[in-house]
Amino acid sequence: MLSRKELFKDTLKKAAHAWKRTVELHLTEEEANLLRLYIDQPGYVDLHWVMFVPAIKGQGTEEQQKKWLTMAYKFQIIGTYAQTELGHGSNVQGLETTATFDPSTDEFIMHSPTLTSSKWWPGGLGKTSTHAVVYARLITEGKDYGIHGFIMQLRSLDDHSPLPGITIGDIGGKFGSGAYNSMDNGVMRLDHVRIPRDQMLMRLAQVTREGKYVHSDVPKQLLYGTMVYVRQTIVADASRALSRAVCIAVRYGAIRKQFGSKAGGPETQVLNYKTQQSRLFPFLASAYAFRFVGQWLKWLYTDVTQKLESKDFSTLPEAHACTAGLKSVTTSATADAIEECQKLCGGHGYLNSSGLPELFAVNLPACTYEGDNVVLLLQVARFLMKTVSQVASGKQPVGTTAYMGNIQHLMQCKSVVNTVEDWLNPAAIKEVFEARALRMAVNCAQNISKAPSQEEGFEAAVAHVQLIIVTKFIEKLQEDILGHGVKEQLQKLCGIYALHLIHKHLGDFLSTGCVTARQGSLANERLGKLYAQVRPNAVALVDAFDYTDHYLGSALGRYDGDVYSALYKEAWKDPLNETVVPDGYQEHLRPLLKQQLKLSRL
């Protein structure tokens, strides 16, 4: 087991190799990220590509982009994204770091005025990054203009030592033993560090030589643009992580046999048990659902970015709501699913050699970074409340809230489901999800009008996001899908995804009158039938993810199913097994045993 310092050094070696190959092969950002996925390290290349570069692209002027991105693409500098502080992470407007303009020297003075203003968490900040985009309160002419981004050099490019006025280090070990512990999430304090005025990212606003603050014609929300970008990538990451865990649990469930042997015959595959299927197959369906909605979200983000370039900001609120909501719902579901997949594999799921503990440790923080999942859902609730009031004033909603324009019908419709088979009808499913989401949003708006609260709407936001995921799965099935019988299997998985949500949130559907108790029971009955129908193809459906054993990193999820010899082989690799008599026996165990033996002979 490597120490944290050895783990860090090993990861730095891998990351430096990845960067070298990135430059030598002239990789694009997309390709560099794929390379990062292959080495499967949430290391330094993450923040450099995923946040430092996008922040400069989104908030820098053309001139600033030209200057800084040229160096960043060639890895002449290594950047991170320093926004969160010890005292504030969710509340960006509450950040305390200051950037005070000094007209006498044409510089900003970057300072950490309090302990809680210490930058805290930025990945790669502790030991690796030479530069950062630092978010701070811009103060000029004695006035505080709120949070803006500034490019700062942190370390010497000669010997990597911190620059004067900068105290910088690692925040210490984190949950889990692997990847995130190889990452130097850092702490940084600034003691009146001066930077040139032109290192303020000036696309959104600028400060003139005289110190005048000038806001540009782009919405201030573009300050948050980098987080929108990352959140849409996180949905794809979640679908990948979930499909890895499901692949391991399904393959192992097909190999593992427990009980059920008759007359000395073979025991039963645990994947045949209904309890195993009802716990695992919704995750299999979710893995496909999140992959499809992630593909759609990537299209939405690209479309919004193109519109922004032509100064069309009309879809920015929708992009924020969709990226925030989908990041929240998919990462929470994925973290819960990976933990459950560990349990679905019994004791062996708890072994590091199963690959599941590390998968859990690396993906659990996704519920927090890039925005705490509750805080992000409250942003979606805010967006929904604005939409409901716009509908009330006669404005026709568009995009993912277009269904709210059908308010007359959806507020009173009754589900058309009368038989188990009716629950296979995508139109019936979509209408039930639309009605639930709309009715919950309207109920929330009515409650807020009676008693305004920032925290109303959490459940309505979940209902809206789940509707988006179900809708995108249904739309995916309306496309041409290659492969004999593939569409039929995906239709079953779409049914499982939607009906397991009805089962899980039946209270919502009943309390808003979208389904009756009988229809709810028919949904459960249909769900059980779908599990049985998917069982014969479950292994094929996870093989379809096409993960190599190397990438899966699991003795339980091996393609060849040779689980027990793999577990046994892995066990002997453990350092504890380097000696048959363990270190410590002579000092601690032997004296006790000898002493007790002697006493027993007296």
Ligand X SMILES: Cc1cc2nc3c(=O)[nH]c(=O)nc-3n(C[C@H](O)[C@H](O)[C@H](O)COP(=O)(O)OP(=O)(O)OC[C@H]3O[C@@H](n4cnc5c(N)ncnc54)[C@H](O)[C@@H]3O)c2cc1C
Q: Give the single-character DSSP code of 40.
A: T
Kindly write out the interface string for residues 102-141 of this chain, putting x where it contacts ligand X by CB under 6 A and - elsewhere: -------------------xxx------------------
Question: Which two three-digit tokens encode residue 583?
Answer: 């270190």
Task: Please pick, from the candidates 81, 150, 283, 509, the single residue that binds ligand LYYUSVKP as defined by CB under 6 A.
Answer: 81
- d(Cα 85, Cα 118) in Å, to the nearest integer? 5
376 binds ligand X (CB under 6 A): no
243 by DSSP, 3-state: which?
A: helix
Q: Give the single-character DSSP code of 266.
A: P
- Tell me how far, at minimum, the Cβ of 193 lies from ligand X, in Å: 18
- Tell me how far, at minimum, the Cβ of 178 lies from ligand X, in Å: 13
234 within 8 A of 293, measured Cβ to Cβ: no
- Tell me how far, at minimum, the Cβ of 514 lies from ligand X, in Å: 27
Would you give the distance in Å from CA 442 to the centre of its chain? 29
Kindly write out the interface string for residues 59-88 of this chain, putting x where it contacts ligand X by CB under 6 A and - elsewhere: ----------------------xxxx---x
- d(Cα 291, Cα 235) in Å, to the nearest integer? 8
- The CA radius of gyration of the chain, in Å to the nearest whole number, is 27
Q: Give the single-character DSSP code of 50.
A: I
Beta carbon nearer to ligand LYYUSVKP, 89 or 355: 89
91 binds ligand LYYUSVKP (CB under 6 A): yes
The H or E element that residue 153 is part of is strand 143-153
133 by DSSP, 3-state: which?
A: strand
Beta carbon nearer to ligand LYYUSVKP, 273 or 458: 458
Catalytic residue status for 370:
yes
* Number of residues this chain uses to bind ligand X (CB under 6 A): 23
Annotated binding residues for FAD: 84, 123
54 binds ligand X (CB under 6 A): no
139 binds, among ligand LYYUSVKP, ligand X, none (CB under 5 to 8 A by kind): none
How many other C-beta atoms can be found within 10 angstroms of the C-beta atom of residue 554?
29
- d(Cα 86, Cα 247) in Å, to the nearest integer? 38
In this chain, which stretch among 7-15, 362-370, 417-425, 585-593 interacts with ligand X, using CB under 6 A? Answer: 362-370
Which of the residues 190 through 249 are near ligand LYYUSVKP (CB under 6 A)? Answer: 221, 224, 227-228, 230
Specify whether the backbone of 213 is left (phi greater than 0), alpha (psi in -120 to 50) or beta.
Answer: beta
Beta carbon nearer to ligand LYYUSVKP, 181 or 277: 181
Q: Which of 333, 337, 296 is nearest to 318 (CA)?
A: 296
Q: Give the single-character DSSP code of 106.
A: T
92 binds, among ligand X, ligand LYYUSVKP, none (CB under 5 to 8 A by kind): ligand LYYUSVKP
185 binds, among ligand LYYUSVKP, ligand X, none (CB under 5 to 8 A by kind): ligand X
Task: Please pick, from the candidates 316, 444, 474, 498, the single residue that binds ligand LYYUSVKP as defined by CB under 6 A.
Answer: 316
Specify whether the backbone of 583 is left (phi greater than 0), alpha (psi in -120 to 50) or beta.
Answer: beta
First to last CA, the chain: 44
123 binds ligand LYYUSVKP (CB under 6 A): yes
Tell me which residue has tokens 């925290």: 455
- Tell me how far, at minimum, the Cβ of 7 lies from ligand X, in Å: 15
Amino acid residing at 79:
G
Beta carbon nearer to ligand X, 41 or 353: 41
Contacts of 382 (CB under 8 A, 6+ apart): 457
- Tell me how far, at minimum, the Cβ of 376 lies from ligand LYYUSVKP, in Å: 7
- Tell me how far, at minimum, the Cβ of 168 lies from ligand X, in Å: 14
Catalytic, out of 96, 370, 431, 456 = 370
Torsion of CA 482, 485, 491, 497, to 10 degrees: -100
Partner residues linked to 134 by β-bridges: 82, 150
455 binds, among ligand LYYUSVKP, ligand X, none (CB under 5 to 8 A by kind): ligand X
448 within 8 A of 305, measured Cβ to Cβ: no
89 within 8 A of 172, measured Cβ to Cβ: no
368 binds ligand X (CB under 6 A): yes
379 binds, among ligand LYYUSVKP, ligand X, none (CB under 5 to 8 A by kind): ligand LYYUSVKP
Which of the residues 169 through 188 are near ligand X (CB under 6 A)? Answer: 180, 185
Tell me which residue has tokens 């994947």: 271
- Tell me how far, at minimum, the Cβ of 338 lies from ligand X, in Å: 16
Task: Please pick, from the candidates 7, 27, 47, 168, the single residue that binds ligand X as defined by CB under 6 A.
Answer: 47
58 binds ligand X (CB under 6 A): no
Residues that bind ligand X (CB under 6 A): 47, 81-84, 88-90, 121-123, 180, 185, 365, 368-369, 371-372, 374-375, 378, 454-455
Q: Which residues are catalytic?
A: 370
